[in-house]
Amino acid sequence: MARPVVAIIGRPNVGKSTLVNRLCKSRESIVHDQPGVTRDRTYQDGYWRDREFMVVDTGGLVFDDDSEFLPEIRAQANLALSEAVLAIVIVDGQQGLTAADEAIAEWLRPQSCNSLVAVNKCESPEQGLAMAAEFWRLGLGEPYPISAIHGAGTGDLLDRVISLLPPKESEVEEEDLIQMAIVGRPNVGKSSLLNAICGEPRAIVSPIRGTTRDAIDTSLRRHNQTWKLIDTAGIRRRRSVDYGPEFFGINRSFKAIERSDVCVLVIDALDGVTEQDQRLAGRIEEEGRACVLVINKWDLVAKDSHTMTMMEKELRSKLYFLDWATMVFTSAMTGQRVESIFSLAAIAVEQHRRRVTTSVVNEVLKDALSWRSPPTTRGGAPGEALLRNTSCK
């Protein structure tokens, strides 16, 4: 990435995502009063004074437990640190120094990036310094008392952050990018597809429904073009979703569709097109987005020389309102045809951005009328009226 990366790490439920939203002046990271909400690493744009940087949010680190998702969360935090120039360790000032905080500090010391300690939940400025004092024992330098919710102390923290970033002259200006949202039902292989595209474990993959919660942004270059890939939470019926992390994740998935240039709608080749797939396709069509239909898990389908043709005909009959969208059969597990998604998406974006002038539309209509004149209705010629209306517009 061209801009320096600042990683936010800490144990569960200390306010990492709240601080990320505060630093980036956004509400993108999901915040909920329960541990383990954030699992993957998610990126947002941060800036302070005249500096721009990337802030990466990570899941809560736990070293003495290998239960569900915790090893994968540690692996994601390791990847975040490998590209970061600075790590901000978030601790809870109200709970005080814990053994888990000390374990994170011990794990962090051999890392090559600089580090800061932010003592969160110091809502009272008078008590902040006293609450932060014991965190000197972590050996990571001066602890900064802050309140991620109210913003107290974050200015001083950001002043210190930008002082530790590389010189501004070393940053490379980024070109315009294409935003590509990867959407679909739960467990159709969206995160596996993202990992196959990136060539690394960018997102946690699990057979458990709802593994991905945040919308995960990833920037990369393909075919001399910069892309921002947005992996989204699996979208299922709202009435089946309880209020909480999954509810917030689905809302962010819909926002990802709105802000994308092209949507990659992932469909399970084994299940075919379901009612929920049709709803998602309809949402993409209503938002006016470019679209590529990706039929994933193609390696699991028993096939002969006619299977692909027959299946495409069947799938398109159920997605008739997206008959203009290109369809590709892929396997995220084997990488089959994964790379072709970029070329197809680039064509879809180019066609979506194309604008046709009124004069061209009139010429097309005149040619069509010369081939076959429409029948008259109530003594008038509807074709002529259509041309007049088009010219007025």
Give the pLDDT confidence of 315-333 residue by residue, as tens digits: 999 998 888 999 999 998 8
Burial class (CB in 10 A: 0-12, 13-18, 19+), 375: exposed
Give residue 108's pLDDT: 86
Token pair listed for 248:
């917030």
Q: Which residue has the higher pLDDT, 321 or 392?
A: 321
Strands (DSSP E) found in the chain: 5-10, 42-48, 51-57, 86-92, 114-120, 143-145, 177-184, 216-222, 225-231, 262-268, 290-296, 326-329
pTM above 0.75, yes or no: no
Burial class (CB in 10 A: 0-12, 13-18, 19+), 367: exposed
CA 352 to each of CA 112, 346, 347: distance values in angstroms, whole numbers, following the listed order: 44, 10, 8
Give residue 206's pLDDT: 47
Amino acid at 19: L
Evaluated on CA atoms 301, 303, 308, 314, the torsion sign reads negative
Q: Mean pLDDT over residues 284-291, rounded?
A: 89
pLDDT tens readout for residues 145-203: 988 888 888 888 899 999 888 887 544 555 578 888 888 888 888 888 888 887 766 65
Q: Mean pLDDT over residues 113-140, rounded?
A: 84
Using 50, 70 and 90 to split pLDDT, how confident is the model at 293? very high
Look at residues 43, 52, 319, 352 and name the one whose alpha carbon lies nearest to residue 202. Answer: 43
Q: Which residue has the higher pLDDT, 197 or 1?
A: 197
Give residue 67's pLDDT: 65
Give residue 235's pLDDT: 60
Let me know: does 38 contact 70? Beta carbons within 8 Å: no
Strand partners, 39: none
Give residue 34's pLDDT: 47
Give residue 311's pLDDT: 92
Give residue 300's pLDDT: 92
How many residues belong to the chain?
393
Using 50, 70 and 90 to split pLDDT, how confident is the model at 80? confident
Helical H segments across 36-164, by residue range: 70-83, 99-108, 125-133, 154-163
Give residue 247's pLDDT: 47
pLDDT tens readout for residues 323-377: 899 999 999 889 899 889 989 999 999 888 888 788 888 888 888 888 877 776 6
3-state secondary structure of 203: coil
DSSP 8-state class, residue 305? T
Q: Which residue has the higher pLDDT, 179 or 219?
A: 179
In this structure, of 102-106, 109-113, 133-137, 308-312, the range with the lowest mean pLDDT score is 109-113
Give residue 215's pLDDT: 54
Q: Which residue has the higher pLDDT, 171 or 49?
A: 49
Give residue 388's pLDDT: 55
Mean pLDDT of the chain: 78
Look at residues 139, 168, 10, 137 and name the one whose alpha carbon lies nearest to residue 81. Answer: 10
